[in-house]
Structure 1
């Protein structure tokens, strides 16, 4: 009897990696970016550090809202399918506006993990660390010494890292505080939220592909600062380029 040829299996084409946009007022968002790269290595990520105008905490709500819209528009025009606002100030003051302007684009924000802190504290003393400025590398050790001293004096047992800069120096801070103090970073929760908002096939591609998917880093000031920080905390091969955007004019105060 003639043999029946066995059908040849057709190779499944690789799933396209999702494109994610991330922005922050500076380099603090690299802590969230590092978590994204670790847990979603196949995602193509475009990160903007608005270091020309950091810190945003000293800006008006109008200015922050306008700047966030400007940065989000740039990322979406570049192909971002989801945008992560990796800045506490940007999240609290602008994420509602961003979602209203781009209703089909998922936006994820970052906020201090106060609820986990309440659940985890043993003595009821919780500190939420925020910052009105950027942690500077040349004065980092004295800054951390002062912070640790203040926290020890307050006898806190739980510290919420309420600014995205702090997870970058969490190990050094933990060493100063000791193992009896719990440091809470919400980066993992943010990544879980990002993953849940991706289409299922895109989430699979993001979780299983390689880092070759791509990383684009842009700074509105000297890109050398972002490049050095990214090589230290995210990827030793990272590079960064300059991004020029029109300035936002502060609203007149009557």
Structure 2
């Protein structure tokens, strides 16, 4: 089962008529410049976005103003048009479950030509995709990240286009994160510490001492065995990503079975942005969308 943000079915009107996400071309750029972006310009801005994102993820100094000036020079575009496009890049990376530049929140009026540019970049530089999904700095930490409470994902405001859905399927974040065993181990360790801290803070150090890793076959279908403040059992499946709260995930067969057999006890802990802010929210029960 794939748990993901509900994709709204509202359509937006843009250049060329009515369409969903990825159906219209460069709305922000058309409004500001009166002309659409060409392929080379898309590749320049996308490439620069990934350079900036790599600096952020590796803790190197980043001067956005310098990048902005360089892009204005090579594209002959206004700063506003470039900022619009960077927000559209953030939207696409959100859909494929990758980190984004927080100064450029998602803009959902992107076109398929921008989706193609991101596809070209990720295809040409598979190492960049791996380093964003499993940052070396995160994997090299001596201790698991400390988790903070995060908000559940909001629904994507419009439906993705067919081309966008093809990109999501090609770089499937649920499969990618699910296959990342090191990332999973980091997430489970972080969630274990989070549960112990939570119970201790709520006056139940006795229960905090009993939180443990799941032991198959008795605990099949979860990663952690924990408790509520009242002592009710919790069977927790931990799903970890370096992407945002909207990144989809899937339950495996054991988790699906446990969610049906013990719906009151089963919970998913969704860990996201673990290479930076490291946040978590809970999904209770067997069904529903994150």
Shorter-chain TM-score bucket reads under 0.3
What TM-score comes out, normalization by structure 1 length? 0.28
What TM-score comes out, normalization by structure 2 length? 0.25
